[in-house]
Structures are given as C-alpha cells and as structure tokens.
C-alpha cells in the first residue's frame, strides 16, 4: 500500500486528510492511505521516514514549512527561491530509479532521497490569475511568513510590485510598511491586498489585520489565504467597501492537486 501524509503541529483540523481520502474514493484510487503525523519538533521527522517505508510523499504545514529545509536532500527551484517547503517527495533506493537520483544522502535516512517543493506558490498563482486586472500593478502582502513569501514570489514573477506590512517593521523601507504607516495615500495606490497572516482564522474569527479598511474601494482585489471561515472578517470589511474578494479555498485545492502530481510523477 502506498502511503501519503501530512506533518505539522497541531493538526486538529486537517484539510489534507479529508481532501485526499475523498479523492481516493471519488477516483477509485486503491491500495493507498493518507495519515497525519502531528510532530511538534522535527527531530521526530527522520523516524517517520524510517518507520513508514511505504511513505511516498508528505504535505508540510505550520510550523515546519521553513525549518524542514535542512532535513531535505534537495529543493526544487521554486522552493529554493521562496525558502519554504510544503510538499516533500520521498524517493527510496529500493525503487527502480537511476542510482544518480539517490545521492547526498543523510545518514539518518540513508536509503532515501527527500526532495522539497513549494506548491503553495502554484496554488496561489492558479487561483488569483483569473482576477488580475491592469490596476493591480502593486500589491500589499500582510505578514512575512512562509505563505507571504510564496505569494510574493508569484506576484513578482507576474511583474507586480510587492510591498509587505509587518509588525517587525518600524520605518518604511522600499518594500515594507509598519501597520501604523498605512494611510489613504498608500491604500489608494495599492489595489491588490493579500492577507497572509493567520488573523481571522477559525476559531479567532473576530480578528482581522489592522489596516485602514475605509480606503479600500471597488477597484481593490482583496485575497485572504484563510479558507476557514469561508469569509473572514478581513474579506467582509473589504467587501463592504465594494472590493472583489477571494478566499484561500481554491489555492488549497490547487496546491494539493499539484502535490499529488509531484508525488506520483
Ligand atoms: P505564519 O508563519 O504563522 O504567519 C505568517 C505571518 O503572519 C507572520 O510571519 C507574521 O508576520 C504575521 N502574524 C502572525 N501572527 C500575527 C498576529 N497575531 N498579528 C499580526 N500578524 C501576525 O503562517 P503562514 O504559514 O505564513 O500562513 C499564513 C496564513 O496563510 C495562515 O492562515 C495559513 O493557514 C494560510 N495559508 C493558506 C494556504 C492555502 O492554501 N489557502 C496555504 C498556506 C497558508 P510579521 O511578524 O511580519 O508581522
């Protein structure tokens, strides 16, 4: 049986497990299983790889997307550029692969090659593409974590001028603002706003990033990476001012489908 899984902590509401189990059933994919591995510390990572020799691929979620990198043998170009991994392909030497594929092996997982990918970037790109208009030449990304980096990578590649809002910024730099610096001038010039913080995510649904929503207009596109709730407070406030809004559900589906393709190609 081929096994796929998810590592992260805590894993109370795993989208991945439900999504893949439903996919296996719907598409009649037999002899497969999907398992969650709630690990707080990545020191437990290699024992998961060693004790599940049928494990073919892992999704990676909070808080391990960045600190998993030193545990991997190789990164694909996108993951390397972003500096975050949400998908690991596991190639074992017992499989019928070219011996040059299995190299740079880590002693703790010596017959295995672990390759890191970032499918969040693909998911975000696929989901935002249909909504982009000419006025979206600048973007404001709220937050600076792994997801924000994937969003920035995609938008920069499209040619959009990216700015961040961060609690860690005291004075504005070329591409970064503090929350208190956001004003009418900035918000009216930047017509694409992406929430890449966990603010507003279930169960803290009464939270939203502290930005001046009153300057958001019908020319704005506001994207929240959060998908639970379906409409976060950030999206509600933006929608009340006439903005076009998108939640993170389509991104989530696209990133999972891409992971499945990577694990099985
Ligand atoms: P993260 O690393 O935990 O946080 C992202 C950033 O948010 C932090 O670096 C921080 O930026 C800011 N932040 C965190 N807590 C905050 C608070 N209390 N107040 C203000 N800012 C805060 O998370 P992530 O992995 O990047 O994910 C961010 C969000 O995207 C999560 O809600 C996650 O579920 C969602 N996501 C969705 C998808 C999808 O497929 N839809 C994929 C990936 C992630 P500063 O320190 O710079 O302020």
Per-residue CA distances from 236 to 116, 156, 196, 240, 242 (Å): 35, 27, 16, 6, 10
Helix or strand (DSSP H, E) at 125: helix 119-128
| pTM (predicted TM-score) | 0.92
Residues of the chain with pLDDT under 50: 96-105, 107
Instruction: Name the residue of 197, 224, 232, 249 to mutate for ligand 1: max ligand atoms within 8 A of Cβ.
Output: 197
Ligand 1 contacts CB of residue 124 (under 6 A): no
Ligand 1 contacts CB of residue 142 (under 6 A): no
Q: What is the pLDDT of residues 58-106, one digit of tens each?
A: 999 989 999 999 999 999 999 999 999 999 999 998 664 444 444 444 5
Active site residues: 65
Q: What local confidence, expressed as pLDDT, does residue 93 receive?
A: 81
Q: What local confidence, expressed as pLDDT, does residue 105 receive?
A: 45
Q: What is the pLDDT of residues 26-48, one digit of tens each?
A: 999 999 999 999 999 999 999 99
Instruction: In whole angstroms, give the CA distance from residue 19 to residue 253.
Output: 8
């Amino acid at each position: 049986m081929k096994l796929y899984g998810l590592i992260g902590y805590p894993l109370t509401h795993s989208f991945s497990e439900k999504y893949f189990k439903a996919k296996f059933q719907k598409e009649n994919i037999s002899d497969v299983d999907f398992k969650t591995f709630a690990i707080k510390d990545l020191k437990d990572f290699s024992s998961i790889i060693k004790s599940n020799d049928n494990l073919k691929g892992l999704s990676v979620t909070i808080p391990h997307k960045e600190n998993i990198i030193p545990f991997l043998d190789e990164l694909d170009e996108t993951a390397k550029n972003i500096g975050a991994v949400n998908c690991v392909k596991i190639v074992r030497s017992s499989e019928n692969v070219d011996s040059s594929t299995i190299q740079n092996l880590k002693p703790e997982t010596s017959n295995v090659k672990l390759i890191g990918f970032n499918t969040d970037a693909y998911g975000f790109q696929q989901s935002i593409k249909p909504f982009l208009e000419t006025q979206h030449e600048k973007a404001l990304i709220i937050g600076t974590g792994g997801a924000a980096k994937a969003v920035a990578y995609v938008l920069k590649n499209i040619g959009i001028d990216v700015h961040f809002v961060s609690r860690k910024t005291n004075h504005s730099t070329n591409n970064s603002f503090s929350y208190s610096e956001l004003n009418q001038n900035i918000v009216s010039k930047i017509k694409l706003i992406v929430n890449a913080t966990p603010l507003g995510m279930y169960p803290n649904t009464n939270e939203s990033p502290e930005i001046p929503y009153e300057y958001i207009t019908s020319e704005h596109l506001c994207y929240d990476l959060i998908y639970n709730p379906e409409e976060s407070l950030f999206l509600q406030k933006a929608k009340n001012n006439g903005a076009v809004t998108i939640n993170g559900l389509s991104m989530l589906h696209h990133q999972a489908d891409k992971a499945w393709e990577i694990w099985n190609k």
